Amino acid sequence: MAAAGAPGSILAVGGAEDKEYKREILARFVKEAGGRRARIAILPTASAIPAERATHYTKVFAGLGAGESVHLPIATREDADKDQFARTLLECSGVFITGGDQSRLVTTLSGTATFQAIHALLVKGGTLAGTSAGASAFSSTMITGGSAGLHVRRDGVRLGAGLGLITRLIIDQHFSQRERLGRLLSAVAQQPQKLGVGIDEDTAIVYYGNGTIEIVGSGQVFIVDAADAVSVGFRDGDDGRHSLSGVVLHMLTAGDRFDVVGRCRLDAVPPPRPPRPRSRHK
């Protein structure tokens, strides 16, 4: 579940979100964080150019009407354990984590005062967003690398420990653009108790503590369910063959909702069907 059933919301963004025109995803984040009352902490910890990333997002959030944005220059675990940063986070209504290197992000934040403050923010109803690497790091099991395309094998994906703010999902990003279906299938074949979620660029899931997901943005989200699948070659002791059958695949777009607990789409009321024309044949 998301942050142990916390009432807050988590936006996992597939990367390359629109920052100049409609800015739908970032506008949704600002709205979730409180709109004009929002106080947003920007964590560019995963980025190789943190100051530049923080400056850019500060301008974007101001343009979207957020009340205030503050850059937290957390680059090391020592930084992440500073009381001043943890206190600042606890005074915020939203946290935005930029893209970059998810392994660096997890190594820096996991188990620190900053991480505990982020969790506490969610528990009190705040909003957390992460784009690209920031989105992947939210899961307890994190994809750190792998093959592109439809190469479905045990060695087709590299997995590691994530931040654990989301426990039921394995998240991948830049999904269609970088052809990552194979590595997501390889991930859920090894951990079928988790749903695989592949998020396109300029697309996001909004994940609530009750287990509901809503899709936002211009692309697609692929949810891969291998709970009842039969796999060969993905466990210790298996031979060199690889096969996977019985996987359920959901493809969702903006406005669609999904129940992570029930592993099913939440459909809106369908429009009435037009009357069928009468046949002229007896």
| CB proximity list for 22: less than 8 A, separation 6 or greater | none
Strand pairing of 248-252 and 203-208? unpaired
**Mean pLDDT across the stretch 151-174?**
96
Q: How confident is the model at residue 277 (pLDDT cuts 50, 70, 90)?
A: low
pTM of the model: 0.92
Domains and CATH numbers, the chain: 3-259 (3.40.50.880)
Q: What is the mean pLDDT of the chain?
A: 93
Question: CB of 166 within 8 A of CB of 10?
Answer: yes
In the residue annotation, 201 being an active-site residue is answered as yes
pLDDT tens digits, one per residue of 21-65:
999 999 999 999 999 999 999 999 999 999 999 999 999 999 999
Task: Give the active site residue among 186, 201, 214, 242.
Answer: 201
Distance CA 47, CA 21 (A): 23
Q: What is the DSSP letter of 219?
A: S
pLDDT tens digits, one per residue of 84-126:
999 999 999 999 999 999 999 999 999 999 999 999 999 999 9
Task: Give the active site residue among 9, 47, 103, 132.
Answer: 132
Determine the residue type at 246.
G
In the residue annotation, 103 being an active-site residue is answered as no
The CB-side HSE value for 28 (13 A sphere, CA atoms) comes to 25
In the residue annotation, 110 being an active-site residue is answered as no
Task: Give the active site residue among 69, 119, 174, 231.
Answer: 174
